[in-house]
Structure 1
Amino acid sequence: MKKTLFMVLMTLILSGCFGMGNSETEESIGEVEAITIDEGTITIGKTKHELILNEEGYEGIPLFEYAQQLPSIVTRPNETATIHIDNDPNIAVYLRDEYVPLKLNSFSTPYEMGLYVYNIEAEWPTKKANFLVVIEVQHEFKRVQREKEPDDSNAWIPSPNGEKQVMIEGLGEFEAQGTIVLKELNSNTIDNIDFNHGLQWTAKEIAWYDNDSILTTIGLVHGTVTRGGNLYHLNLTTLELTPILEFPVKEEVTYFSLEGNLLTYEVHIYEDDEMNKGYLETRTLDLSTIEKQLSD
């Protein structure tokens, strides 16, 4: 009888101990699971975007190349970007392996146009996670009044009605940066049409489209591909830029002209990956196609 009672008591004690152990384990698991919700957002301006959780990593692939396969966030320069990640981890942000200082988990988007890949590291007490965000800073133009006339007065191109003149100042033969200059003859004012090119981009060719807008190529200043760029329409009143001809990295518009209802342009096409060999191809585009692009 005593032996039987002893066995019953031991069973109850052991069952209670195991029950407590299971309860504590379940609570612990619940805490860990709360941290495994790896979700985050980045708010740029007034728009919120989902961060991309880098679960598999990009081993063996350059980060920039890997990121080009991901969706990008198009924004203006110098916008405030604010990061929020669930469960309040410590956050560190890197751009090209350089640490980006944060203030209240916020930083400013770059001034210079281009594609930027940010690596965001989040760390909780028991785990870490890595997020990526790809930000594309687009062109932003502004008019800056100047008092001095450009040195080369022969470079002015008159508008169709003769009331304005435009030129690209400072553009040399190779790796030079040019500035679009606009002269209003009625008011006798001269403005630089500046944009957030930094040291990488420049306007290269220019022509009047109508009395209030121009066509211009914008391309790289430095590097292998320096002969031309993509073709854009720029409204000189609103400073709105509209892409007209955009090409892959191995193709570029080197020259264009307007005559009647036809745009004639030359495209330089590289044949090899090293971009040493290429050829020129002449193409045409009806102006009605451009009008449609401007109205869309």
Structure 2
Amino acid sequence: MYKISYQKENHNLTLEISELKYVLESSSEPELSPNKDYVAIITPFEWECQGEIRLINLKTGSSKRTELNLNANLTPKHVIWKNANTLFVLIGSNWGTVDIGGHLYSYNIDYNELTLLKKFDDTIQIQEIQKENDNLLILRGIKYIDDNFNESEPYSTHYTL
């Protein structure tokens, strides 16, 4: 059995599995796999810091780092599960205050395969993925509306699977 608690305001994750206790001070919100065997997290989850996706097995307590093989300028920004073997991941720039979102990828955890699904124009910064159903993702973020990337408005689109 496991217990998860997450403090969104300071990105602290506490995960207790049998006799093991993980305390991560810089983690994204944990995403529970559909079969409830794993949680996926991005850690460290900080501004201008390259994170990695970790999968924590909720039965054994073991932790596995995914093999995204990103260059030093890129980092995962958001992650959700597609199914028990595949993640949807937003990957974007590590640096700056303009590039706050990312492009949409899928990542197969069994084969370590990262696939670009949708690339966005520089004026669009996708920050959140929501699985509407098995065939549709809702992607949310901002769209810059000036040439200096100072002013923005909320942006939402969908991606059909």
TM-score (norm 2): 0.74
Quick one: which of 99, 110, 116 aligns to 1:243? Answer: 116
**Aligned pair partner of 2:103 in 219, 225, 230:** 230
- Is contact 1:213–1:233 with CA below 8 Å preserved after alignment? yes
Q: Does residue 169 of structure 1 match 2:43?
A: yes
**Residues 1:211 and 2:98 are matched in the alignment:** no
Q: Structure 1 or 2: larger helix share?
A: 1
Tell me which residue corresponds to 1:196. 69
Partner residue, 1:270 = 144
- Among 54, 61, 66, the alignment partner of 1:181 is 54
Higher normalized strand content (fraction of residues): 2
Distance, in Å, in 2 between the alignment partners of 1:223 and 1:155 is: 22
CA contact (8 A) 2:28 2:42 kept: no
For 1:52-85, what per-residue CA distance to the aligned partner results, in whole angstroms no more than 9, with x for missing partners?
A: xxxxxxxxxxxxxxxxxxxxxxxxxxxxxxxxxx
How far did 1:196 drift?
3.3
Aligned match for 1:280, one of 151, 154, 159: 154
Contact 2:67 2:112 in 1 (8 A): no
RMSD: 2.4
Q: Report the Cα distance in structure 1 between the residues aligned to 2:57 and 2:43, rounded to whole angstroms.
A: 16
Contact 1:204 1:228 in 2 (8 A): yes
One-letter code aligned to 2:68: F
8 A contact 1:178–1:202 mirrored in 2:
yes
**SS of corresponding position for 1:195:** coil
Change (3 A) 1:232 1:205: same
Give CA deviations for 1:222-248 in whole Å, capped at 9, x if unaligned: 134332110111101111112122112
SS at match of 1:285: strand
List alignment gaps of at least 5 residues for structure 1: 1-147, 291-296
Determine if contact 2:68/2:112 at 8 Å carries over to the other structure: no
Kept in 2, the 8 Å contact 1:212–1:237? The answer is: yes
Instruction: State the partner residue of 2:9.
Output: none
1:253 aligned to 80, 101, 126, which one? 126
1:202 and 1:154 map into 2 onto residues whose CA distance is 12
Per the alignment, residue 18 of structure 2 pairs with none
3-state secondary structure, aligned to 2:24: coil
Q: Normalized against structure 1, the TM-score is what? A: 0.43
Contact 1:231 1:243 in 2 (8 A): yes
Largest Rg, 1 or 2: 1
Q: Distance in 2 between matches of 1:149 and 1:238?
A: 26
SS of the residue corresponding to residue 137 of structure 2 reads strand
Specify every segment of 5 or more residues in structure 2 that has no aligned partner in the other structure, as ranges: 1-20
Q: Mean Cα displacement is larger for which, 233-242 or 270-279?
A: 270-279
- Please give the secondary structure, in 2, of the residue aligned with 1:180: strand
